[in-house]
Amino acid sequence: MEGRPDVVVDELSALPRSYSPAQMRATLTANGAVRTVGGDNLYAAAVAAGSRRYISQSGCYFYRPGAGLADEAEPWVEQGPPLVAATLDVQTAVEERTLAPDQPLAGVALRYGFFYGPGTWFHPDGDVADQVRDGRYPLLGSGAGRWSWVHVDDAAAATVAAVEADVTGAFNICDDSPTPIGQWLPAFARYVGAPPPPRVATGPDTDPDGRFYAEMLRGAANDRARKELGFSPRPLTWTAASD
């Protein structure tokens, strides 16, 4: 077919411009509908157009807590807190549409880390930087949760590589050294010219989603993306700057 889209890339989302658990909850329904219903429509259109491959966005921050970095075969967290569980339900639906063996299109799920860089929440001009400068982004509990990051330019390069390669399956698209929030948040504060973030002990009234990200998040391993996509991410900007 002339003009047939050989590869379709699904980056649909409806995330808020500002980041907080409250904002994420407020946009959860709309984002879920865009990614599931909208994504189903996009997938059907790709099939109807005679496409060969389908690439969708996913995330690498919901692996079950455990020792070491999680590769793509590790299971997702079970019985997570409300926002994590609802977001994971959507992510699971997206991956099942993309990767199920009986689907008509060869599928790739790019499990991006947390985006940083221009135009993201985690940038000197971004919403989280404003919160940190205002003392509104505390460091909760132990700060042991390990965040997997990816610069937006590196994420774009990995996506292009996935389009051009003849690969299938899930790929963690994140940096080499997932960093505990107890390390990256103070470094980020210094990077954006903010005072040290306040430390807040966790307790029965702590937001359970905030506690998950602060204390339970497990970092992801990018070995497969490095090997099969030639992925070569840069180190996290603000921790590298603080060395």
Tens digit of pLDDT for each residue in 73-109? 999 999 899 999 999 999 999 999 999 999 999 999 9
Average the pLDDT over 52-56 and give the result.
97
Mean pLDDT of the chain: 94
Extents of the domains making up the chain: 7-227
The answer to whether 176 and 239 have CB atoms below 8 angstroms apart is no
Output the pLDDT for position 16: 78
Distances (CA, A) of 76 to 73, 162, 201: 9, 23, 27
CATH topology of domain 7-227: Rossmann fold (3.40.50)
Query: What is the pLDDT at residue 1?
Result: 46
The pLDDT of residue 242 is 57
Q: Are strands 149-151 and 169-173 parallel, antiparallel or unpaired?
A: unpaired
Give rounded-to-5 percent helix, strand, coil for the chain.
40, 15, 40
> Is the distance from CB of 234 to CB of 176 less than 8 angstroms?
no
The model's confidence at residue 2, banded by pLDDT at 50, 70 and 90, is low
Instruction: pLDDT band for 25, please (50, 70, 90 cuts).
Output: confident
In the 8-state DSSP scheme, what is residue 177? S
Q: Report the predicted TM-score, pTM, of the whole model to 2 decimal places.
A: 0.95
Angle at 81 between CA 76 and CA 87, to 5 degrees: 60
